[in-house]
A and B are shown apart, each in its own frame.
Chain A
Amino acid sequence: MSAESPRRGMLERYAEHAGADAIEQLRQLAGLLTGLKVVHVNSTRRGGGVAEILETMVPLMQELGLDASWEVIEGNDDFFTCTKSFHNTLQGKTLDIPPALLIAYEEVNAANAERLRPILEAADIVIVHDPQPAPLLSHCPERRGKWIWRCHIDLSHPYRPVWKYLRRFLLGYDASIFSLDAFAQPMPHPVYLIPPSIDPLSEKNLPLDPANVRQVLEEFGVDAARPMLLQISRFDRFKDPLGVIQAYRLAKDFVPSLQLVLAGGSAADDPEGETVVEDVRRSAEGDPDIHVLSSGHYSDQTINALQTGADIVLQKSLREGFGLTVTEAMWKGKPVIGGNTGGIRLQLVNHRTGFLVDTPEGAALRIRYLLAERSRIGQIGENAREFVRQNFLRTRHLREYMTLMVALTHGNADRIELG
């Protein structure tokens, strides 16, 4: 299936956020890749971070003159059970995957290869996202292009037996891409590092009417006239929601009007998530200024309104991937107090774009500082937005993909001088 036709003028709309110079650079770089047949492959057209990236990346590549398309592999229940286990084990969970599921994984890939082989073998560049479609390469012996495995997950501490099984499907690739150096595993081919990005034109990130923001806050019983702290993330021990409540309580002693909103997606398929929500509710009991929003799925616009309405955003993770919720909040001009871990470190510079903390006490201190020095909220928020504009928008992500494509198609030397 090919991707939707390019939305004309997308680049111009991105120029309003990223700057005309950044778009001009994309055009120049794309000039070296005109007509290049690029195929992205993943396992879902809707939902999840990868689909969100490809929804804009593919049309942008098309508008720049690349012959880009997006293919999705089709799987059955066993296949998706297996790949969900991959996801958990590659991020450190100890779990042995039954052989029957591994067989389903390989069979689904073999079946999809029958359907996709002509497209994949004819492509100049094939970018395979995450482990789901990884074995496709072994079914395309007549491939003529370069194959890249794009890993969106944190592979720093994989459960070794599962990684050992998957690795053999990756050895034939020409390159891999990881989001951060700390997430990468050694490979026999070049391992590129490309951080993820946010889309400034998505519902999650477009500016909202203040009336809409107020309405959403009222809907959840939050008083827009009083200071509000927000953490948006799954209810997961690694996101430390109990530490956030502790930090809020320590700060509330000094700022009695303070409110806290903890919002996260539903965790119906995650038994541990349910336990964490219960613990959080128990800890918040008796305090009407703590709002735990854990039921149902919140729309992108609701998340946007909560982030826009917050005075300070927290992401007090103990372990984190890149932390795109941090990027989103920074883009809305919010100072973020984040855990000193993973990709949060790349985004928060103390006193400049936010604060890195190691303890609830540290978070409380920074909350008190910002609420006592209200002008700093604006200054840090402004810095944060500019920092994201320069480094973490979709256009930068696209530029790095195209640079990598030029490198791979021009011999992968350290220095490539063209034109």
Chain B
Amino acid sequence: MLSFAIKDCALAMIAEGRRAQTLRELRDALRDIHPGCIYHHFWGTLLRPQFSDREFNNDFATWCHHGLHDSAIAERLAVIDPADFADLEGLRQELIEVIDERLDETEMILFARADQQFHFARSVIVVFDTHKRLSHPRELVEAVPQMSVGSIFYHFIDARRRDPVSVDDFRAWLMGLGPEYQSLCEAVAQVDPYFESLFVIRQRLTEVFTQHLGPPLQRKAAQRQERVA
């Protein structure tokens, strides 16, 4: 059986030095900003300080709501699923089109306060091997709660960008092991990667794996021993 290699990652955030104070400035900057910024403001946001129940799943929507107080554009930007796009250029075009549409329909130019401008940033992602390997899906029950949030980010969030069919690493592994894991894959797919913090995602995944694969192997063995005694 193919083993699952647990990797971990950490982000270092870099200020791009560009800012936007209006929706038009945001659109103009998006046209030629470093593609890493698009990644960072959609995905990297999960590895930055944030409270769990997020209102919006990307920084652009959050800023339009809280900085520009334009909830219409915030809502439209928030429904963009980055996993729908094959690459960051596709995602960039979609952002620009949604913003252009809003600019066409509005007559007023909304400004953010000077101290609430949108600051473009990108991140360097450092991926490293923990040298821990899982040989059977049942081991996920014990391994996932012990994973760092960096590992959860790498395997559950970042994987969607790496994988041509936008699937997380857990499902990619399980799908290759046979049809008996079909219902587990479906349950993993139900865990929303956008609205919760990585801590909550880790908890949700643990619940799904425990529900489908039973309690951790060690606990099972202990229960068996208790029964024998």
Contacts of A349 in B (CB 8 A): 51
Whether the Cβ atoms of A191 and B126 lie closer than 8 Å is no
Whether the Cβ atoms of A193 and B15 lie closer than 8 Å is yes
Contacts of A32 in B (CB 8 A): 126, 128
A28 interfacial by beta-carbon distance below 8 Å: yes
Whether the Cβ atoms of A21 and B12 lie closer than 8 Å is no
Inter-chain CA distance A407–B11, complex, in Å, is: 9
Whether the Cβ atoms of A418 and B129 lie closer than 8 Å is yes
Residue tally, chain B, CB below 8 Å to A: 35
Inter-chain CA distance A391–B45, complex, in Å, is: 13
Whether the Cβ atoms of B115 and A341 lie closer than 8 Å is yes
Whether the Cβ atoms of A21 and B146 lie closer than 8 Å is yes
B 111-145 binary contact with A (CB < 8 Å = 1; else 0): 00001010101111111111100000000000000
Q: Which of A28, A182, A390 contacts B115 (CB 8 A)?
A: A182
Contacts of B121 in A (CB 8 A): 181, 193
Whether the Cβ atoms of A181 and B51 lie closer than 8 Å is no
Inter-chain CA distance A187–B150, complex, in Å, is: 29
Inter-chain CA distance A24–B148, complex, in Å, is: 8
Residues of B1-51 at the interface with A, using a CB-CB cut-off of 8 Å, are 8, 10-15, 17, 36, 49-51
Residues of A367-394 at the interface with B, using a CB-CB cut-off of 8 Å, are 383, 387, 390-392
Contacts of B11 in A (CB 8 A): 403
Whether the Cβ atoms of A352 and B124 lie closer than 8 Å is no
Contact count A vs B, C-beta below 8 Å = 106
Contacts of B226 in A (CB 8 A): none
Among A49-57, A212-220, A305-313, A409-417, the one that faces the other chain is A409-417
Whether the Cβ atoms of A181 and B119 lie closer than 8 Å is yes
Whether the Cβ atoms of A418 and B15 lie closer than 8 Å is no
A 162-197 binary contact with B (CB < 8 Å = 1; else 0): 000000000000000010011010110011111100
Shortest A282–chain B CB gap in Å is 30
B197 interfacial by beta-carbon distance below 8 Å: yes
Whether the Cβ atoms of A392 and B49 lie closer than 8 Å is yes
Contacts of B130 in A (CB 8 A): 28
- Report whether over half of chain A's contact residues are helix, strand or loop; otherwise say mixed: mixed
Whether the Cβ atoms of A404 and B12 lie closer than 8 Å is yes
Given A403-B124, A414-B122, A25-B199 contact (CB < 8 Å): no
B149 interfacial by beta-carbon distance below 8 Å: yes
A353 interfacial by beta-carbon distance below 8 Å: yes
Whether the Cβ atoms of B126 and A418 lie closer than 8 Å is yes
Shortest B200–chain A CB gap in Å is 10
Shortest A235–chain B CB gap in Å is 23
Shortest B154–chain A CB gap in Å is 10
Inter-chain CA distance A419–B123, complex, in Å, is: 20
Q: Which of A187, A193, A399, A419 contacts B10 (CB 8 A)?
A: A399
Q: B interface vs A, CB < 8 Å?
A: 8, 10-15, 17, 36, 49-51, 53, 115, 117, 119, 121-131, 146-151, 197, 199
Given contacts A390-B197, A392-B49, 16 further A-B contacts (CB under 8 A): A21-B147, A22-B148, A24-B146, A25-B10, A25-B148, A29-B8, A184-B17, A193-B13, A193-B15, A347-B49, A390-B49, A390-B149, A403-B11, A410-B126, A414-B123, A417-B128
- Interchain residue pairs A-B with the least CB separation, the first 10: A419-B129, A181-B119, A391-B49, A25-B148, A403-B10, A349-B51, A191-B15, A407-B124, A403-B12, A193-B13
